[in-house]
Chains A and B, each alone.
Chain A
Amino acid sequence: MTATSSPPAERGVAALARPRFSPRAPSHDERQALILLAPLLIVLAVVAVFPIIYSFYTSLFDINLARPLRQPFVWFDNYVRMLGEPRIQIALWRTAVFTVVTVAGTTLAALVVALFLNETFRGRRILAILLLVPWATPSVVNGLMWKWIYDSNYGVLNGLLQALGLIDNYKIWLADPDKTLYLIANAAIWKQMPLSAILLLVTMKSIPEDLYKAARVDGANVVQRFLNVTLPALRPGLMLVLVYETMISIRHFDLFMLLTQGGPGNASSTLSWQIYVETFRSLRFGTGSALAYILAFLTLILGALMIRLGWRREAR
């Protein structure tokens, strides 16, 4: 108790005299906390930290499981080789296109839905609950559902378009390399949009009604109120949606696996699909791990950039 009872000036001098990062024995409470947290930390170390470090270690070797006796250490050769391969460059491009289309589509659709649900009308709450169904649908079920929707023989998309007189014959949607990526993006938007809409709706609800009243007094119409009141106030929610959706879209895998397996040809071969092919089909764990790290770094850099840009504008 002596330390706390000494005068402030004295404590300041003592603090200055001490080295800045001197080791300090943990207090009783800290020790207790550490003991209680230990099981969780151990589990985390085993299931998260170790695999992350080990996969990086793996990425430095030329590992092909089918050749178990030959696994030379190659430094960063796997990274260089993968980035130099045309199929990986194509996959990077397709990943970028898919991400931009999915994030833009999801955000726009979510914004429209959130604006709609922000209005007062009968059945709004039920509609908001129903809206979450696509988000709550398991990814595999979602993938299979869209596979059936797009099916060229019995798909509901063909049936609907033909009933509306928009097409004469059934189209083979997923076999068209020019459309495949966008059709998969459409399925991804359908699944991802509800959560984004709810996030935007929550932000909209926090906008003070007084701002709208003031805008109306100033003679602002609906569009002007949206552009000058709603949109600026929505910026934190939009940033959250953009960052989250980018992270999800750039790593998207399940729809590619279920709908096209990277095909036809390489029309839907994204980076995440190439990681799967490299690792689990070609059994090259070294290059597969390198690709996974490339994707992780891209996600990290993109996320950090978006957060930084958004934070700066917010600060301004």
Chain B
Amino acid sequence: MTMSVDRRAVLAGLGASASLPLLGSLSRPAAAAGETISYTAWSAAVDQVQSHIHAFEKASGIAVRYENFPGAQFRASLVTKFTSNEPLDLIWMNDAWTPEFAEAGWITPIDDVPQLMAYNADVQKYCTDAMRYKGRQYGLVYYTDHMSFMYNKEMLDKAGFEKPPATWDEVVQQGLKLKQMGLAEYPLMLALTADAWLIEMIGPFVYSFGGTYTDPAGLSTLRDPGNGALAAATWMRDAIHTHKIVSPGAVTTSEIDALKAFASGKSAFAILPSYRIRVLNDPAQAKVAGNIRINLMPAGSGAKAGNHTCGWVRYYGLTPHARATKAREAAVMKLMEWFGGKVDDKYVFQKMLLLDVGVPFCTKSLMQDTDVLAFYDKWAGGEGTILKQSSMAITKDVISPWFGEWNETNNQSWQSVFLNQSTPAAGLAASGDKWNQLKKQFG
């Protein structure tokens, strides 16, 4: 059978396909007649973001183009888009990128918008501090979290421990007994692969040993023999190679791999973001559900040691393109508030993120919400420890325009210590020297 295709049929087909986008646009909200604004994020809480965007489009009549990229490639994707002048409006930001992006002129301050700045009164101070650079504020908080010390209560009960370890020395003692009893081959689960998470995985050790990366003048302290960072690196190396309570495979373990392994009951302790507690205590997702508890980060030795951990903030940033015209600026500000602020006088999205995904927030008033308290009771056995740990979280003291470049060297330096290829002092010195070199280079 042969098909005859005449010119008229082809033209009709072309016309029909050309009209498809038009039909698509008709189904959009009314204000799509105006400009579409963009919302760029990493691939997290995608369902929640999409549903909240749909609600925004319906309520405001403003069309939003939402796109997301994997977290590991997000920074590079954003930078590529900015350098090729792609028109972005609202972006998810990592607090570590603020100086770099601000210096490059890719994000713009919001401190001239009283409506948005009013939220600061209800936000924890360290969160607003994390969004500031050279005295200017660059966004509204998306979420905040910190690394938590989690333990498997059932396993500790079997080993006869009444309390979880309060110091890193106790972690070694309990770990060795758990190992001896055959309850866990490697009792402490760590994710030490050289990716974007590594600095936040090392952070709890550095800060709980009273260490720092930089001094008040911004110079590296990693060569200082009295720095707690050196004690932290030594402890971590010994945990892997001397005590063998941490698997040597940690150097190839990502955060998600560590979560899965801990969820399957392979270890007694783990350091993970606190928002993972929801997954770990969900019977549908974890074998160990109901047995995972959070304790304060064990303290290291030394005068400045304490139960500190590493905290971070992610926020909604605004690009200069968003403020190109008054109409666009108003639309993007509205979208930013819809996500980072209140909707009908309620923090809808922040609450949704916590209840659906377990992601914590910075908003003080929301911490008294009955649903929020019930969430912590259900998943984390009460929110007291999480909030106490949150107040002891330290944001990375390496946030600078050269952070991304330096972190490549830093990751490799710490990994060389974990692999016993270099001494803790030599590994940290290499990282510190790179820091000082970049600081000098960037002026």
**A281 interfacial by beta-carbon distance below 8 Å:** yes
Q: How far is the CA of A277 from the CA of B248 in the complex (A)?
A: 24
Whole-angstrom distance between the Cβ of B168 and the nearest chain A Cβ? 23
**B412 interfacial by beta-carbon distance below 8 Å:** yes
Closest residue of A by beta carbon distance from B414: A265
Whole-angstrom distance between the Cβ of A117 and the nearest chain B Cβ? 37
Residues of B within 8 Å of A176, CB to CB, are: 248
Of A67, A261, A263, which contacts B104 at CB under 8 A?
A: A67
Whole-angstrom distance between the Cβ of B71 and the nearest chain A Cβ? 13
Of A67, A172, A261, A264, which contacts B247 at CB under 8 A?
A: A172
Of A175, A265, A282, A284, which contacts B249 at CB under 8 A?
A: A175
**A153 interfacial by beta-carbon distance below 8 Å:** yes
Cβ < 8 Å to B, chain A residues 224-265: 260-265
6 tightest Cβ-Cβ pairs between the two chains A and B: A172-B249, A264-B251, A175-B249, A265-B415, A175-B252, A65-B79
Residues of B within 8 Å of A137, CB to CB, are: none
Closest residue of A by beta carbon distance from B251: A264
Q: How far is the CA of A108 from the CA of B187 in the complex (A)?
A: 44
Binds A, one of B59-67, B341-349, B357-365, B400-408: B400-408
Pairwise interchain contact A280-B251, C-beta atoms closer than 8 A: no
Q: List 16 A-B contacts (CB under 8 A).
A: A65-B79, A65-B80, A65-B82, A65-B83, A67-B401, A68-B82, A153-B266, A172-B249, A172-B252, A261-B193, A263-B193, A264-B194, A264-B252, A264-B418, A264-B419, A283-B405
Residues of B within 8 A of A (CB): 73, 76, 79-80, 82-83, 100, 103-105, 193-195, 247-252, 261, 266, 401, 404-405, 408, 412, 415-416, 418-419, 421, 442
Whole-angstrom distance between the Cβ of A69 and the nearest chain B Cβ? 8
Residues of B within 8 Å of A260, CB to CB, are: 252
Residues of B within 8 Å of A177, CB to CB, are: 419, 421
Pairwise interchain contact B76-A265, C-beta atoms closer than 8 A: no
Q: A66-B79, A67-B103, A264-B252 are in contact. Are A282 and B404 (CB under 8 A)?
A: yes
Residues of B within 8 Å of A280, CB to CB, are: 73, 76
Closest residue of A by beta carbon distance from B422: A265
Pairwise interchain contact B251-A263, C-beta atoms closer than 8 A: yes
Residues of B within 8 Å of A265, CB to CB, are: 251, 412, 415-416, 419, 421
Residues of A within 8 A of B (CB): 64-69, 87, 152-153, 172, 174-177, 260-267, 277, 280-284
Pairwise interchain contact A283-B404, C-beta atoms closer than 8 A: yes
Q: How far is the CA of A174 from the CA of B418 in the complex (A)?
A: 14
Whole-angstrom distance between the Cβ of B154 and the nearest chain A Cβ? 20
Residues of A within 8 Å of B251, CB to CB, are: 175, 263-265
* Sample of 6 more A-B contacts, CB < 8 Å, known A174-B249, A266-B416: A67-B103, A263-B194, A264-B252, A266-B412, A280-B76, A283-B404
Residues of A within 8 Å of B80, CB to CB, are: 65
Residues of B within 8 Å of A69, CB to CB, are: 104-105
Q: A65-B80, A68-B83 are in contact. Are A282 and B252 (CB under 8 A)?
A: no
Q: How far is the CA of A264 from the CA of B412 in the complex (A)?
A: 8
Pairwise interchain contact A68-B419, C-beta atoms closer than 8 A: no
Pairwise interchain contact A174-B76, C-beta atoms closer than 8 A: no
Residue of A68, A87, A267, A281 with highest tally of chain B CB at under 10 A: A281
Q: How far is the CA of A69 from the CA of B102 in the complex (A)?
A: 12
Q: How far is the CA of A69 from the CA of B419 in the complex (A)?
A: 39
Q: A261-B193, A282-B404 are in contact. Are A172 and B79 (CB under 8 A)?
A: no
Q: How far is the CA of A281 from the CA of B404 in the complex (A)?
A: 8
Closest residue of B by beta carbon distance from A263: B194
Q: How far is the CA of A277 from the CA of B194 in the complex (A)?
A: 12
Closest residue of A by beta carbon distance from B104: A68
Q: How far is the CA of A66 from the CA of B400 in the complex (A)?
A: 12
Whole-angstrom distance between the Cβ of B262 and the nearest chain A Cβ? 12
Closest residue of B by beta carbon distance from A285: B83
Residue of A175, A260, A262, A266 with highest tally of chain B CB at under 10 A: A175
Q: How far is the CA of A282 from the CA of B410 in the complex (A)?
A: 13
Pairwise interchain contact A281-B408, C-beta atoms closer than 8 A: yes
Whole-angstrom distance between the Cβ of A42 and the nearest chain B Cβ? 23
Pairwise interchain contact A64-B252, C-beta atoms closer than 8 A: no
Residues of A within 8 Å of B408, CB to CB, are: 277, 281-282
Q: How far is the CA of A264 from the CA of B251 in the complex (A)?
A: 6
Q: How far is the CA of A170 from the CA of B261 in the complex (A)?
A: 15
Residues of B within 8 Å of A172, CB to CB, are: 247-249, 252
Whole-angstrom distance between the Cβ of B427 and the nearest chain A Cβ? 10
Pairwise interchain contact A64-B416, C-beta atoms closer than 8 A: no
Pairwise interchain contact A66-B401, C-beta atoms closer than 8 A: yes
Residues of A within 8 Å of B73, CB to CB, are: 280
Residue of B76, B79, B251, B266 with highest tally of chain A CB at under 10 A: B251
Closest residue of B by beta carbon distance from A67: B104
Residues of A within 8 Å of B104, CB to CB, are: 66-69
Whole-angstrom distance between the Cβ of B267 and the nearest chain A Cβ? 12
Q: How far is the CA of A309 from the CA of B348 in the complex (A)?
A: 72
Closest residue of A by beta carbon distance from B442: A67
Q: How far is the CA of A284 from the CA of B79 in the complex (A)?
A: 11
Of A64, A65, A153, A262, which contacts B194 at CB under 8 A?
A: A262
Residues of B within 8 Å of A281, CB to CB, are: 76, 404, 408
Pairwise interchain contact B404-A66, C-beta atoms closer than 8 A: yes
Residues of A within 8 Å of B419, CB to CB, are: 177, 264-265, 267
Pairwise interchain contact A64-B193, C-beta atoms closer than 8 A: no
Closest residue of A by beta carbon distance from B194: A263
Pairwise interchain contact A153-B261, C-beta atoms closer than 8 A: yes
Of A66, A153, A266, which contacts B100 at CB under 8 A?
A: A66
Residues of B within 8 Å of A263, CB to CB, are: 193-194, 251-252, 415
Closest residue of B by beta carbon distance from A284: B405
Residues of A within 8 Å of B415, CB to CB, are: 263-265
Residues of A within 8 Å of B76, CB to CB, are: 280-281, 283
Whole-angstrom distance between the Cβ of B245 and the nearest chain A Cβ? 15
Q: How far is the CA of A174 from the CA of B250 in the complex (A)?
A: 11
Closest residue of B by beta carbon distance from A169: B185
Pairwise interchain contact B79-A283, C-beta atoms closer than 8 A: yes
Residues of B within 8 Å of A262, CB to CB, are: 194
Whole-angstrom distance between the Cβ of A259 and the nearest chain B Cβ? 9
Closest residue of B by beta carbon distance from A176: B248
Whole-angstrom distance between the Cβ of A84 and the nearest chain B Cβ? 14
Q: How far is the CA of A69 from the CA of B103 in the complex (A)?
A: 9
